[in-house]
Amino acid sequence: MASPARTELPWVSRSKIVFNSNGVVSRRHDQAATPLGLFVFVTDSQGSSSLATLGCEPESLWDSTPGFPRGITGNLIYMDPFIPVNEPDLSGNEKKYLIECIDTGWISSEGPYVTKFEEQFAARVGRKHGIAMCNGTAVLVAAVRALKLSPGDEVIMPSFAIISCITAILESGLKPVLVDCEPRTYNADVAQIEAKITPRTRAIMVVHTYGLPVEMNRVLELARKHNLRIIEDAAEMHGQTYHGKPCGSFGDISTFSFYANKHITTGEGGMVVTDDPALAERCRSLRNLCFQPARRFVHEEMGWNFRLTNIQAALGVAQLERLDQFVVTKRRMGALYTELLSGVKGLELPVARNAAAENIYWVYAIVLMEEIPFDAAEMMERLKKHGIGTRPFFWGMHEQPMFQRQGMFKGEKYPVTERISRRGFYLPSGLGLTEAQLRRSADALKKVLAG
Ligand SMILES: Cc1ncc(COP(=O)(O)O)c(C=O)c1O
């Protein structure tokens, strides 16, 4: 853990500090945790108080550290280590496979782990082809482009989503058409889709959000009825199913992210999966600058370097070995948070299960009800003071300043998106989170609400 810079204490000699003597300090209440920093609360001769960092050396060095105040008295405050919103679990074969990459020299996208990861991941979601790329945004860009839609064609997508979804649509010169989301699953309200279908509609982009899958049966039915393609963003849904069928198996083309906060990670990474060999081939070409096999540097089309490295894929293979275990762990974490918070007034907690699936808690997402007199931004600030890392919910596409400046979505209202984007946030949810950290996070939330 990085040490914060040592702070000099010029005020020590002129401050009256109420504490023990000889620089010997009382013991930390939680012996298991490493102090992130050592803080002392001092009161000066005018009676005003201030908080100052002494440093974060091991306790054994405090007495021998030059400049460490001696013979003082004061209140020593231990700062609990900050709990990050996400920490991955890399305790399986990750190191072994990474060393293998270095020992064999396979560090670029040419190595054997890339194919292995593609084959194993595609098989895991029941698809014929997997095309690994550098992140979950790039795969969306490539997936949309692979469909060869025409400029101005419309793609229906949720107003509540990550920016990557809409930029992929815009990148291909297509028109995003929004629908609001459901108030409790935060997924697109599929009942609103049909009314948005026009003669220019060519595709529906579904985005499974936070832990429960989109109502796919209705989407599939609409796609069949109106001859629409489905782009399925399953970035957050590793190991999740919809009525027993894996998420990522529903789209004409489906995508995943392997960013460090996902159930399985390659640090940065993504994958397109599909059963269509033509779409797969096109994605392979698009990710590799559209080099042509026969005349490499002669291009018929524009592509990108979206390749995933063998090093990243090696991580992916090691992580995939433990996906089932990760899903169990995340569900256990979700259940424990719910147990600890279910009596607390004013919180909308995640739905544990619906008819289609059991929540996999990509993140433990909470919405503050109206009775809480402040919004998610304020809640996150207050939790930060307790050393708890959080993240806000996505912000509605129709409220993005860059689109508003262009007059896009003018006059459009998506009330659920507007409410949850202001009132929603998530607690530390990573696989590296310990039970003690989870309990501390829940306690901090309760303390903030208790005022
Ligand atoms: C639903 C969804 N789609 C796409 C992405 C983008 O993935 P990446 O961060 O790997 O570019 C994310 C990232 O969290 C996501 O949650």
Q: What is the pLDDT of residues 340-372, one digit of tens each?
A: 999 999 999 999 999 999 999 999 999 999 999
Residues 185 and 304 occupy one common structural domain: yes
On whether residue 89 sits in a domain, the answer given is: no
Rounded alpha-carbon distances, angstroms, from residue 113 to 90, 121, 319, 410, 449? 17, 12, 12, 47, 48
On whether residue 174 sits in a domain, the answer given is: yes
On whether residue 384 sits in a domain, the answer given is: yes
User: Comparing C-alpha atoms, which of 293, 291, 266 is closest to residue 121?
Assistant: 266
Residue from 207, 254, 258, 259 whose mutation best tests the ligand 1 pocket (most atoms within 8 A of CB): 259
- CA 369 from centroid of its chain's CA atoms: 23
Q: What is the mean pLDDT of the chain?
A: 87
Last residue of a domain, one of 79, 109, 126: 79
Atom of ligand 1 nearest to the CA of 135: 10
How high is the pLDDT of residue 345?
96
Residue from 164, 186, 272 whose mutation best tests the ligand 1 pocket (most atoms within 8 A of CB): 164
24: confidence class by pLDDT, cuts 50, 70, 90:
very low
Domain count for the chain: 3
Distance 108 CA to ligand 1 centre (A): 23
The span from the CA of 223 to the CA of 286, in Å, is: 25
On whether residue 271 sits in a domain, the answer given is: yes
Atom of ligand 1 nearest to the CA of 161: 1
Question: How do 154-158 and 391-392 pair as beta strands?
Answer: unpaired
What CATH number does the domain containing 301 carry? Answer: 3.40.640.10
Residue 9 carries which side chain, given as an amino acid letter? L
Residue from 134, 137, 256 whose mutation best tests the ligand 1 pocket (most atoms within 8 A of CB): 137
Residues 132 and 280 occupy one common structural domain: yes
On whether residue 86 sits in a domain, the answer given is: no
On whether residue 88 sits in a domain, the answer given is: no
Residues 113 and 208 occupy one common structural domain: yes
Mean pLDDT of 5-22: 30
Exposure on the CB side of residue 62, measured as CA atoms within 13 A: 21
Residues 287 and 191 occupy one common structural domain: yes
Atom of ligand 1 nearest to the CA of 209: 1
Residues 368 and 417 occupy one common structural domain: yes
- Token pair recorded at residue 82: 């900050």
Last residue of a domain, one of 285, 320, 355: 320
CA dihedral sign of residues 329, 335, 341, 347: positive
Q: What residue has token string 């912000």?
A: 395
The span from the CA of 179 to the CA of 390, in Å, is: 27
Q: What residue has token string 């504490």?
A: 19
The span from the CA of 429 to the CA of 84, in Å, is: 9
Last residue of a domain, one of 300, 320, 340: 320
Distance 7 CA to ligand 1 centre (A): 39
Residues 417 and 441 occupy one common structural domain: yes
Distance 162 CA to ligand 1 centre (A): 7
The span from the CA of 391 to the CA of 234, in Å, is: 20
How high is the pLDDT of residue 80?
62
Among 60-69, 76-85, 392-401, the range scoring the smallest mean pLDDT is 60-69
The span from the CA of 84 to the CA of 98, in Å, is: 25
42 pLDDT exceeds 60? no
Residues 187 and 305 occupy one common structural domain: yes
How high is the pLDDT of residue 369?
98
Question: Is there a contact between 80 and 90 (Cβ–Cβ < 8 Å)?
Answer: no
Distance 141 CA to ligand 1 centre (A): 12
Question: How do 37-44 and 49-55 pair as beta strands?
Answer: antiparallel
- The set of protein residues with a Cβ atom below 6 angstroms from ligand 1 is 135-137, 162, 164, 207, 233, 235-236, 257, 259, 270
Residues 154 and 260 occupy one common structural domain: yes
The span from the CA of 424 to the CA of 121, in Å, is: 32
244: confidence class by pLDDT, cuts 50, 70, 90:
very high
Residue from 207, 236, 258, 429 whose mutation best tests the ligand 1 pocket (most atoms within 8 A of CB): 236
The span from the CA of 203 to the CA of 128, in Å, is: 21
Residues 239 and 290 occupy one common structural domain: yes
48: confidence class by pLDDT, cuts 50, 70, 90:
low
- Category of 272 on φ-ψ map: left (φ > 0), alpha (ψ -120 to 50) or beta: beta
Residues 261 and 372 occupy one common structural domain: no
Atom of ligand 1 nearest to the CA of 140: 4
Residue from 144, 162, 187, 397 whose mutation best tests the ligand 1 pocket (most atoms within 8 A of CB): 162
Residue 57 carries which side chain, given as an amino acid letter? E
On whether residue 5 sits in a domain, the answer given is: no
Q: Whose CA is nearest to atom 15 of ligand 1?
A: 235
* pLDDT (tens digit per residue) in 144-171: 999 999 999 999 999 999 999 999 999 9
Atom of ligand 1 nearest to the CA of 362: 16
Distance 177 CA to ligand 1 centre (A): 20
Q: Whose CA is nearest to atom 2 of ligand 1?
A: 235
Residues 46 and 177 occupy one common structural domain: no
Q: Whose CA is nearest to atom 7 of ligand 1?
A: 136
Q: Whose CA is nearest to atom 3 of ligand 1?
A: 235
- The 3-state DSSP class for residue 27 equals coil
- Category of 116 on φ-ψ map: left (φ > 0), alpha (ψ -120 to 50) or beta: alpha
- Category of 211 on φ-ψ map: left (φ > 0), alpha (ψ -120 to 50) or beta: left
Distance 166 CA to ligand 1 centre (A): 12
Distance 260 CA to ligand 1 centre (A): 10
Residues 274 and 145 occupy one common structural domain: yes
On whether residue 1 sits in a domain, the answer given is: no
Distance 232 CA to ligand 1 centre (A): 12
Q: What percent of the chain has pLDDT over 70?
A: 82
What CATH number does the domain containing 359 carry? Answer: 3.90.1150.10
* pLDDT (tens digit per residue) in 383-404: 998 889 999 999 999 999 999 9
Predicted TM-score (pTM) of the model is 0.86
How high is the pLDDT of residue 81?
74
Domain range for 37: 15-79
Question: Is there a contact between 280 and 262 (Cβ–Cβ < 8 Å)?
Answer: no
Burial 37-60 (b: 16+ CB within 10 A, else e): bbbbebeeeeeeeeebebbbeeee
